[in-house]
Amino acid sequence: MDFRDRHVVVTGGTGALGSAVVGALLEAGATCHVPCTSEAKAQRFPHHAHPRVALVATGTLADEAAVARLYDATPNLWASIHLVGGFAMGPVAETDKAALMRQIDTNLVTCFLCCRAAVRAMARTKAGGRIVNVAARPALEWRAGAGMAAYAASKAAVAALTVALAEEVAKDDVLVNAVAPSIMDTPANRKAMPKADHALWPKLEEVAATILFLASPENKVTRGAIVPVYGRT
């Protein structure tokens, strides 16, 4: 996949999956624009010194002004990949409104605002583009959301947003899709679930490869898809 001379925004790019996605994009020739909320995170980011990485200081991407700063700093946007999000367990009986709104802000609102900014930026170039969101397995398999209903609902909303937006902008050659991971093989997940069979979990580089295809010029027809990336779980 050839991303040479293409600018790509990757929200959540300093995280575990984000680092894998940015690394793969750099190998494919892309210039990556990555929001960052602190200098400490910037320094820990393995690609921070790469000449085709632009770290953009932002606040929370649930804030319209922060999103505007990110996209205003990105010229000739080709693709926008939205990995920022958050996870929280908790039965409904113990989840208050504040906890629910944190999941909605972190997962849905950030995605919506970045989708909106990306669509506007792509309209200015009139060259089409690609948007990739991240849903989750419980967004597709609702019963799997037991014990994490606020998270499942916010990610199901991301899936619905993805499909609806894909219909809106297909005429402009903007293809919108999402991936829906199960538990991914990260150090944090291994620590949290030491007795799980980690070999069954999807690897970060495997999920990144699916995201890269959906964001690439080689993807000419896939839109409105919520692609399961479950590994063998």
In the chain, the amino acid numbered 98 is A
pLDDT in the model for residue 229 = 97
| pLDDT above 90 coverage of the chain, percent | 95
Print the domain residue range for 191.
7-229
In a domain, 149, yes or no: yes
In a domain, 23, yes or no: yes
- For 198: left if phi > 0, alpha if psi spans -120 to 50, otherwise beta; the answer is alpha
62 vs 43: which has the higher pLDDT: 62
Q: Is the pLDDT of residue 127 over 90?
A: yes
pLDDT in the model for residue 24 = 98
Q: Is the pLDDT of residue 83 over 90?
A: yes
**What total of structural domains would you count in the chain?**
1
Residue pair 212/24 in contact (Cβ under 8 Å)? The answer is: yes
Candidate from 38-42, 58-62, 84-88, 132-136 with smallest mean pLDDT: 38-42
In a domain, 1, yes or no: no
118: closest CA among 3, 4, 226, 10? 10
Helix (H) or strand (E) holding 82: strand 77-82
Question: Using 50, 70 and 90 to split pLDDT, how confident is the model at 38?
Answer: confident
Q: What DSSP letter does each residue of 214-230 carry, written as one string?
A: HHSTT--S--S-EEEE-
The average pLDDT across 36-52 equals 92
∠ CA 124-127-128, nearest 5°, is: 95
CATH number for 206: 3.40.50.720
User: Residues with catalytic annotation?
Assistant: 151
In a domain, 2, yes or no: no
In a domain, 132, yes or no: yes
pLDDT in the model for residue 233 = 85
